[in-house]
Structure 1
Amino acid sequence: MAWGDIDIPFFAEAGFERRACRVTKLWFWSRDPARETCGDTVEDEYTFIGAPIIPGFPERGRALKDRMREAFLSYFEGKDHVRVEPYPVIARWRDDIHLTIASIADFQPHVTSGDVAPPANPLTISQPCIRLTDVAAVGRSGRHLTTFEMMAHHCFNRPNDGDVVYWIDECVRYCDDLLVNHLGISESEITYVENPWAGGGNAGPAVEVIVGGLELATLVFMNLEEDSEGEIEVKGERYREMQLQIIDTGYGLERFCWAAAGTPTIYESIYPETVAWLRDASGFDARLAEKDNVDADLLLSELSRLAGILNIDVGTDVGPLYDKLLERLANRGVDLTLDELKSIAEPLAAIYAIPDHMHALCNMLGDALVPSNVKAGYLARMLARRTLRMRDSLGLEVSLAELGAHHLEHNLDGSGFSQTREGILTILELEEQRYSEMLRAGEAAVRTALNGVPADATEVDDAILFQLAETRGLQPDMAVGIARGLGWSNLSVRVGFSAEMAARHAAQAKAAAGARGRVGILAPGHGIPATASDFYADTTQTGFSARVLHCQSLTDAQVTALDLSAEVTGSPTHAIVLDRTLFYPDGGGQLGDQGRLSNGATVSVLDTRVEDEVILHLTDGELPAGEVSGEVGWERRKQLMDHHTSVHIIGGSARAVLGPHIWQAGSSKGERYARLDVTHYQRLTRDDLDAIEDHANSIVEANIGIEKTVLDRAEADERYGFELYQGGPPKHTRIRIIRIGEHDVQACAGTHHDSTGEVGEVRIIRSSAVQDGVGSRRGGASADRGRRDLTRARPAPRAPADRGLRGAGGATRRPASLRPALLPRVEGAAEAHRATRGRDRAPAHQRRWFRRGCRARWSPLHHPRRLR
C-alpha cells in the first residue's frame, strides 16, 4: 500500500462507497449512493441552519458547550480513554509556537517524537486553542473563530515494539459510533474525505468528517516527521516516517454546538447572551426594527451559507460575498442596496467578533500573559485593540474591562486560570488606557511612515504596516483608518495581509527556535562524545583530573560569533574538549566558569561553552592530548551561584507580591551583576521593589533547603506544571529541577547553593522598563558583598506604570532607573542600612551566616494552569 492510502475495513462493513468528488476530485466515503460531491464544496451549502442535525440539545451558550463537551469526553472515557485536563493556551512548553493551536500541540515535540511518555495512552481531552490566521474573517463569515475547543482522542503506538493501542480502522469506528449512535446524526449525512494533513512538524494520512456541509472533525493518522531530506512530500514540506504511529483527532466543540443549535451563525449558538446584549446596547435592534423589508435571520442564514461555499477571504475581500448575498436575497423577494446591506452586516460582524475576541483575550490573560508589542503579548494586544475599534464603531459606552467582566460571567469558566479575575480586569483597563494614548500619538507616527506615499494610493507597502504594528502597536486596520483621516482616503489593507501577519509571527517563533543551540565551533559530524558534567555532583569542588580529547584553534570569525561577555578578559585562541569537567558552560542565562588547565604547560580558561553536549573550554593556548588537571576559579563560581540562586528567590518573590502573571522573560547571571526580566503590566514603584526585596530577604533568612533533582519530563510536568519553564522549555527528556520549598520551582541547569541562607542579604538596586510589556520590567539587586556598597533609596513615590511608560506613537519611554545611594565600605554597614532604610534590622552578629554575596537584576513571572 503506497503512502497516503488508507485501509479502513469498517467502511466496507458499514455500507460505504468510495468515490471521487465531482468538484474537488478528492476521494470520499459515503453511505448515500446518490452523493456525487464530498460535502465540502461550492455546491454543498449548510443544511443544518434552521434544521439542527444533532438532536436533543436545546441549550445555548456555555450550557450547550458544557453538555456537548461532557458527552464527547464521557463517550471516550467509556472506551477506556483517560480524561486529561487541558493545557494552557500559552504554549510555554514549546519555543516554536506562541499559542496552543491544536490538541496535538500539547504533546509536540517530545511525546510525538517518542522521547517522552504521554500522560495517558489512550487519552481524551478538550483543549482550548487560539488561531489568528483568519482573525479578519471572524464575525463576517458566520463560522470563523479565533478561539475554539478542540475535542480529541489520541493514542500513541509503537508498532516496531509490538505496542499498538489502535490505529486507523478503530479510530474511524469510534468516530462513526459517536456521531450516529450517541449524537443521533443521520448516517446518510456523513462523508469521510481523504485529505493528508500536516502541522507542527508532523504529518500523516487523514480523513475530514463532513456533516451537513460543515467539517465537524478531522482524523489524522500521524506517521511522518519533518525532514528536509525526507522522501515524502506533503503540502510542500518533506517528511520521513516516524517510529510512532499516532492517532491525532480534532472535533470542533463549537461546530458541534452550531450543528445542534441550527442558528443562523455560530455566534448565536455559543455566545447568545453577549450577542443579545451588544445588539441592544449598540441600538442595532432598534435600527433594524425600522427596516420593514429586512428579515435579519434570513439575511444571516444566507450569509453563512454563502460564506461556507465561496472560496474567498471574507476578512479582507468581502465584496464578492455581499454581491452574491444581494442576488440571493433578491430571489427571496428582499430588495436591498449594497449600502443598506453594509449598514446591517458590518455592525453585526463587530457584534459577533467582540465576544470571540474577548474569549481569546480572557483565556490568554487567564494563563498569565501580559500584552506587549512582541511575541504572544503582541497577539493579545492585537485582539484587545481590534475589540476596542469594533466597540467604537458600534458607539458602545462600555469599557474593555466591562466587556471582560461580562464575558467572564456569561461565557468562560476561569476556575482553572492562574490569573485572578481582578488581575484580568486590571490588565484590560490598562490596555484601554494605552490604546487611548496610542491613538493620540498614532497620527504623527502614521504621517511620518506614509511620507512619500501618493495621496491617491490604494494600498500601503507591507513593510510600513509591519513596522507600525511591531514598533508602534498600530494594527493594520487602525493605521489605515488613521491614514484615511489624514488624506490618504483610498487606502485599504491588502487582501490576505492579516493572515500573513499572523503567519509572520508564527514563522518568527519557529525560526528563533531553530536558530538556538549551536555555537558553531565543532565541525558537523565531529564524532566527539558528550562531556561528563561533574559540576552538579558538588558545586563547591574546584579541582579535577581529565583527559584532553580534542584541541582546535579558533578563527577570528569563530571568536566574533561567540559574542563574548565583558567578563571575558582576553581573546581565546583555542577550544579544548575534555572527557569530563567541573567547568560549567554558558547557558540558562548564566555565564561560563573560568580557571585554568595544566599538563606541564598551563593555559587559562577564559570562557566555557557547550555545543552538541560537548563542553568547550575556550583557552589562551593549546594543550596536547593526554591527562590534564583543571582548576575552576572559586571566587567567580561562588559569585555566579550567589547570583543564580538569588534570581530564583527574587523571581518567586515578585510572583508572590505582584501576582501570578509574573513570568521570567529573560535573565543574565554574571560575576559582576545579575539581571532578571519579568512580565508585568505596569511600572514598578519603589514600594513594589521594597516589598519584593523584603519578601526575598525573608526567604534568605529562612535558610530554606534547595532541592536539586533530575526527573523524566512527563513526571516533572505532572508534578509541577508548566511553571517549571520560567527560563524557556528545555530540549532534553530528563530535566533538572531546582525547588526552593513552596517558594519557587524551575527547570534549570545552572549552579546553585544548597540553601537560601548561603546567598546573603538581597538588595534590589535598579528597575527599568525594557519594553512596553515585552513585557518586561528590568531591575538590579545586590546581596551581601554587594549590599555593603548599596543601600535602598527612598525616592518620592512614582505614579503607576501607565503614566510615563509610553512616548509618541505608543513607543516606550524608559523611566529613570532607580539607583540607590552609595555607602562607603566601612564596618557597621548594617547600622548604616538601618538608618537609611528607616527600619530595624538584626545586628550583624545575629546574621553571621550571610556570606559574600551577589548583585542581581530582575523583572516579572507566571503560574500556568497545571494539569490536574
Structure 2
Amino acid sequence: MARLNPEDYKLEFFKENGFLRKKCKIGKEDFWTLNQEFDTCQDAPDTEYWFNKISSINGLSVREAREKFINFFEKNGHTPIKPRPVVARWREDLYLTIASIVDFQPHVTSGLVPPPANPLVISQPSIRLEDIDNVGLTIGRHLTTFEMAAHHAFNYPDKKIYWKEETVRYAYEFFTKELKIPGDLLVFKESWWEGGGNAGPCFEVTVGGLELATLVFMMYKVENGKYTELPLKIVDTGYGVERMAWFTQKTPTAFKAIFGDALDKYRKILGVKEPPEKILWEAFKAAGRLEPEDPKSVKEFYERISRNTGYNYDEIKSYMELDARLYSLLDHSRTISLMLGDGIVPSNTGEGYLARLVIRRALKQLRFIRDDVSLSDLVEIQIKLWGKDFNQLIDNQNYIIDVIIDEEKKFKETLNRGIKLTLKTLKSGNINLEDLVKFYDSYGIPPEIIADEAKKKGVNIEIPINFYSIIASRHKAPTSVRKIEEKSKLPEDIISWAKGFKSTNLLFHQNPYAKSLTAKLLGKKGKYFILDSTLFYPTGGGQINDLGKVDICGKEYRIVDVEKVDDVVVHVADREIEEQCEDVYEEIDWIRRYRLMRHHTGTHLLMGALRRVLGDHVWQAGAEKTPEKGRLDITHYKLPSKEELREIERLANKVIDERRPINYLYMNRTEAENKYGFRLYQGGVPMTPTIRIIDIENWDTQACFGTHLNNTGEIGGLKITKVEKIQDGIVRFEYVAGTRVAEEMEKQENRIEEIEKVLESKQGEEVIRAKALKDENNELNNRIKAYRKLWEEQIGYTINSAPIINNIRVAFIEFPENDISYAREFLKKITYKNEDLLLGLLIKNNDKTFVEMAAGGKVRIDLGEISKKISNKLSGSGGGKGSYASLVINKSVKSEDLLNIVKEIL
C-alpha cells in the first residue's frame, strides 16, 4: 500500500481550528483531534465502543438520518441524486453496487461523460457480502446491506469544484451542527484508499470507537504497482446512515436502531427471548475489539461478558450465538428484499448466485432457530418496513414472495439430496475446504449439513468461520469483463491494420432499407478491405453479419464475413483482392437482411411482452438473431405456463397489428438513463458518451447497435417455437417472425402427416387414435404388472428352497423378459429382503445369455470376482464390484450350469 507524504494531510482547516496531529499508541496511525487527552485514534479495535455516553441529537431513525444528511448538503449547494439499483446493471465488471462511487464508474470517473450534477449528494443502498459470516455477532459493525450517504465533487483540469479543505470542513460542520456531536470528540484519522484501479489519501472520521464516515480523495490511477496522477480528481465520501442512526439512538445493538419494532416481531415469531440488558451492554462495549473470524477472539469476547455480568460462559455463548442468528436473519432478509426488488433472479451464476447465497444462508439460520417458520413471512415484514423508502419492494412484492417460497422448496430438496451425497462422499475419505466449496457451488449443500451428517458417522469436519465470505469473495464479479460485442474472428495483424483507418460511415444505420451503393475503397490487405461507407452490418450485439457481393474493378467478390474493429468495419471477401480501384459497388443479400431485421425487432417486441406477463424482474441473459430464427434467454425462476405463453404471443402480435412506430434516438448517456433507466442495457453497456436507442413506442426501449424496422407491423407475425429452462434462473425462448412463421407451420404440417402414418389414422383423427393407443398401452402395462406380481410370488418359493452353501442361499433363475432395468430393480428389492441371498437372473437373447447378479447385506463375497470366474469358464465377459455384477455369455446357458459353477467356486 502506498502512502503520501505526511505533509499532504496537513490542512488549513486543522490549523485554523487548533487541531493537534497525534499518533495512535496502538495502531500507530496519525490522526487529527481537538482533544489533548486522546492517545488513540478512537476507532475499533484500538478503542472499545463508548459512543453511547457521547451527547448528540436524539434518536434519528435510518430515514431521518438519511434526510438530515441530504438536506444539509443540498443547503450547501449539492444537487440530490436518486440512488441506483443494488444490482450494477451499468457495469460490465461488477454484479452488485458496493458503494456510491460505483454509480459513476466507469463512464463518469473515466471522463467519458459528465456527472449528472456537480457537486452532488446521494444516499446509495449498497451490498457487500465479503463479511457475511460476521453479521450478527459484532452487533451491527458488519451488515450485508447498508446505505452509503455521500457527497461527490468531480474536479476537472479546467474546473475545480472543491477538494480536501472543503470536504473535511463539511464533515466537521455536519457532525457538530446537524448531529450535535462535540467537536473535541471527533477524530480525523489519516489513511489510504485503493480500489478498482484508483487510489488516493483519505480521512476516516471516528468518534467513541465508531467510524461514521470516510473521506476519500481519488487522484491516482494504479497500474502494475505504479501511481499516475489523474486529470479528473474526485471527492469520494461515504457516511454510514445506519451508523448515524445507531449513534444517535444509543441502543446496545445497531439492529435495534435500524429495524426498531421489526426486531421485536422477529423475536416473537421465532421465539427468541431478548438477553438481559446488562449482557447486551457488555457485548456493546466489547464488540469493537472483537475479531469475529478469530476463534480465540470470539472466546475472549464471551469470557469478558461472562466475567463482567456474572453469567457463566455457556449461558453467554448460548445467548450471543442465538441472537447473532436472529440479527443475521434481520440483515439478510432486508438484503434479499432489495436484491429481488431490483430484479435479481436467484440462479447458479452471476448476481443470481449471490442472491441465492444470501437466501440459503438465511434459510440455514432459520433452520437452526425455528424450522417451522417461513422465510417469506420474515421478508414480508421487511417489505412493509422499507417499502416507503424503496418503492420497488412494494411494486415487486408478489415476485419477491413467490421467489422466496420457490427457493425454500428448492433448499429442502437440496438438503435431502445433500445428505445422501454426503454419506456417499464420507465413505471415500476426508472432506476438505475445496470439497465443501464444491458441494455448495455444485449442489447448494451448506457445510453445516455436511458436518452434521459426518458427526453422526464419527467424522469431525472443520468449517471455516468465514466460509460464506469465502464463497461471496469468489463470486463478487465476473471472472472476466463481460463484452458487448462478440470476440472478433479477424487475425491480429488485420485488427492492428484496421486501427489505422478513420471511422467507417455506417449507412446501415442511416438507412437500413438501402440494398446497394457505391463507396470508396480506403485500403485492402489480401481478402480483407475497408470502405469509407458501408451497408454491410458487422457481427455484434447478438446479430450476425450481412452477406452479399461487391464489384471491384469489374470483378465480383462474395462477402463471407464482416467484422468491426472499434469504429472501422472490415469486409472479408471469398478470395484475395488483386485490383485497386477507387469505387466499389456494394450489394447486400436483402432477403437475408430483412429476415434479420424482423427477428431483431421481434426480440425487442418479445422482451416487452415477457416483462408485462412474467414481471419486471425479466432481463436479457443472452440473445442471437439469425435469418432462420431468433433466440432470447431471460432471467426467470420457472418455466412459463401454457396460459402465460399464449398471453405473451397474444400481446406481441397485438403490437404487430397496431403498427407502432419504431424510433431511432441518439441521446446523451445521462439524459437517456434518467429518462429510460438501466433497462436500456439489455445487451450490454456501450462505452460511448452518446447512446443509440431503439424505441418501440410505449412498449420497449433499449440501447442497441442492430438493424431494425420502421414499425412493428413489418414484423408480420411472431410465433414462439420452443421454450426451455437452460439453467437454474434462465429460460430460453426461440421464435420466428414474418414469412418464417409460414415456413415453420409447414414443418409442423409435415410432422402431423408423419404422425398420421405412424398411427394409421385419417387426417383430423390423430388425437382420437393416439388416445386409443394410450388406453391400450395402459391396459397392457396393467397386465404386465399383474403377471410380474404372480411371477415374483412363484420366485419366492424357489428362493426359499434354494441350496445353502457356506451360509449363503444361492439361486439362478431364468428371467421371462428382456427388460434388464426391471431385472435389476427386482434384484435390488429381493436381496434387500433376503440378506443371505445370492441371486442371478438369466436373460436369453438370441444366442447370448445375459446374467445379472446381486447379493444381500450378509453375503461377504465380491460378485465382481465371481463374475470373472464364470466368464473364464464359459468364455464370457463382464464385471462388477461388491454386491452387484453382470456378464454376457456368447451362448445359451442353463440356470443349473451357473448354479453348479458357483457351488464349485464357493
Q: TM-score, normalised by structure 1?
A: 0.81
Q: Which residue among 14, 21, 41 is the counterpart of 1:11?
A: 14
1:7 to 1:501, Cα distance in 2 relative to 1, 3 A: same
Match of 1:436 in 2: 412
Map of 1:231 onto structure 2: 226
Is 619-628 or 749-758 further displaced after alignment? 619-628
Instruction: Give the aligned residue type for 2:413.
Output: E
Q: 1:342 aligns with which of 314, 317, 320?
A: 317
Structure 1 or 2, whichever has the larger Rg, is 2
Instruction: Letter of the 2:531 partner, please give it.
Output: L
1:194 to 176, 186, 190: 190
Residue aligning to 2:506 = 533
1:83-136 CA distance string (max 9 Å, x none): 111111111011111111001110100011111111111111111000000001
Report the counterpart of residue 256 of structure 2 in structure 1.
268
Distance 1:792 1:301 in 2: 76
Map of 1:147 onto structure 2: 145
In 1: Cα distance, 2:309 partner to 2:512 partner: 83
Moved more, 349-358 or 410-419: 410-419
Deviation at 1:738, TM superposition (A): 0.5
CA displacement at 1:528 relative to structure 2: 1.6
In the aligned structure 1, how far is the partner of 2:116 from the partner of 2:429? Answer: 56
Q: Which has the higher helix share?
A: 2
Counterparts of 2:491 and 2:687 in 1: how far apart (Å)?
A: 20
SS in 2 for 1:204: strand
CA distance in structure 1 between the aligned counterparts of 2:631 and 2:749, rounded to whole angstroms? 16
Q: Alpha-carbon deviation of 1:2?
A: 5.8
C-alpha RMSD of matched pairs (Å): 2.7
Matches within 5 A, 1:554-593: 574-593=527-546
C-alpha distance in 2, partners of 1:66/1:762? 48
> Any idea what the Cα deviations from partners look like across 1:406-448, whole Å, max 9, x if unmatched?
1112344342458421221111111111112222222234445
Contact 2:337–2:393 (8 Å) recurs in 1: no
Could you give the per-residue CA deviations for residues 607-634 of structure 1, whole angstroms, max 9, x where no partner exists? 2222233322233212255433222111
Q: 1:488–1:753: structure 2 CA closer, same or farther, 3 Å change rule? A: farther
Distance 1:448 1:547 in 2: 69
Query: Which residue in 2 is equivalent to 1:623?
Result: 577
Structure 2 distance, partners of 1:22, 1:280, is 45
Stretch deviating more after TM superposition (482-491 or 721-730): 482-491
The one-letter code matched in structure 1 to 2:469 is A
* Correspondence 1:657-676 to 2 at 5 A: 657-676=613-632
Aligned amino acid, residue 274 of structure 1: A
Q: CA deviation at 1:259?
A: 0.8
Counterpart of 1:260 in structure 2: which amino acid? T
Aligned to 1:179: 175
Q: 1:365 aligns with which of 323, 332, 340?
A: 340
Q: 1:11-57 deviations in whole A, cap 9, x for unaligned?
A: 111111112322222221111122222122543111124x3543322
Q: 2:65 touches 2:245 (CA, 8 Å); kept in 1? A: yes
CA distance in 1, matches of 2:393, 2:160: 35
Give the drift of 1:299: 2.5
Aligned counterpart for 1:73 among listed residues 63, 70, 74: 70
1:255 deviates by 0.7
Code of the residue aligned with 1:470 in structure 2: it is D
Q: Deviations over 1:710-743 (max 9, x none)?
A: 1111111111111111112222221110001110
Which residue pairs with 2:331 in the alignment?
356
Structure 1 pair 437–188 and aligned structure 2 pair: CA distance change class (3 A): same
Code of the aligned partner of 2:173: D
User: Partners in 1 of 2:500 and 2:647 — Cα distance?
Assistant: 50
CA displacement 1:768-812 (0-9 Å, x = unmatched): 001111xx111222223122133599xxxxxxxxxxxxxxxxxxx
Matched, 1:103 2:100: yes
Structure 1 residue matching 2:587: 3-state secondary structure: strand
Q: Is the aligned partner of 1:779 residue 2:701?
A: no
Structure 2 partner of 1:300:
280
Match of 2:743 among 766, 769, 789: 789
Partner of 2:517: 544
Question: Could you say which structure has the greater relative contact order, defined with CA pairs below 8 angstroms and 6 or more residues apart?
Answer: 1
Query: 2:302 touches 2:317 (CA, 8 Å); kept in 1?
Result: no
Q: Which runs of 5+ in 1 are unaligned?
A: 233-239, 289-294, 554-573, 794-818, 825-834, 837-868
Aligned partner of 2:126: which letter?
C
- Matched ranges for 1:653-692 at <5 A: 653-692=609-648
Q: Which secondary structure state, in structure 2, belongs to the residue aligned with residue 401 of structure 1? A: helix
Q: Structure 1 stretch 687-696 or stretch 30-39: which is displaced more?
A: 30-39
- CA–CA distance in structure 2, aligned partners of residues 301 and 76 of structure 1: 34
Cα pair distance change 1:429/1:42, threshold 3 Å: closer
**Corresponding residue for residue 297 of structure 2:** 321
Deviation digits for residues 525-564 of structure 1 (CA, Å, limit 9, x no counterpart):
64423322221010011223334444446xxxxxxxxxxx
**Distance apart, 1:521 and its partner CA:** 2.9
The correspondence for 1:720, drawn from 654, 676, 693, is 676
**Residue 421 and residue 41 in structure 1: after superposition, are their counterparts in 2 closer, same or farther (change >3 A)?**
closer
> Is 1:55 the equivalent of 2:57?
yes
Tell me the distance in 2 between the aligned counterparts of 1:181 and 1:759: 63
CA distance in 2, matches of 1:80, 1:280: 46
* Residue aligning to 2:895: none
Gaps of 5+ in 2: 754-763, 766-906
CA contact (8 A) 2:20 2:33 kept: yes
Letter in 1 for 2:655: I
TM-score where L is the length of structure 2: 0.78
Aligned to 2:399: 423
How far apart, in 1, do the equivalents of 2:625 and 2:485 lie?
A: 22
1:272–1:453 distance in 2 versus 1, CA, 3 Å: farther
1:243 paired with 2:231, answer yes
Aligned equivalents of 1:186, 1:520: Cα separation in 2: 65
Aligned residue runs from structure 1 range 376-775, under 5 A: 376-413=351-388, 414-417=390-393, 419-447=395-423, 452-454=428-430, 460-462=432-434, 464-478=435-449, 480-481=450-451, 483-484=453-454, 487=457, 489-509=459-479, 511-512=481-482, 521-523=491-493, 526=497, 527-529=499-501, 530-552=503-525, 574-600=527-553, 601-624=555-578, 625-627=580-582, 628-773=584-729
Give the structure 2 partner of residue 164 of structure 1: 160
SS in 2 for 1:109: coil
CA distance in 2, matches of 1:759, 1:615: 27
Q: Number of matched residues?
A: 746
Distance 1:375 1:820 in 2: 41
Judge conservation of contact 2:387–2:393 (CA < 8 Å) in 1: no
* AA aligned opposite 1:714: T
User: For residues 427 and 491 of structure 2, what CA distance do their matches in structure 1 show?
Assistant: 46
CA distance in 1, matches of 2:414, 2:512: 50
* 1:762 counterpart letter in structure 2: L
d(CA) in 2 for partners of 1:513 and 1:46? 46
Residue from 113, 131, 135 that aligns with 2:110: 113
Distance 1:792 1:196 in 2: 68
For the residue of structure 1 that corresponds to 2:727, the secondary structure is coil
Instruction: Provide the C-alpha distance between the structure 1 equivalents of 2:327 and 2:472, rounded to a whole number of angstroms.
Output: 21
Q: CA deviation at 1:343?
A: 1.6
Distance 1:783 1:717, change over 3 A: same
Quick check: 1:130 aligned with 2:127?
yes
Distance 1:476 1:90 in 2: 27
Q: Distance in 2 between matches of 1:418 and 1:333?
A: 44
Q: Secondary structure at the match of 1:789?
A: helix
CA deviations 1:475-504 (Å, max 9, x no partner) are 4445x3455366374113235443332221
How far 1:706 sits from its partner (Å)?
0.2
Letter in 1 for 2:353: Y
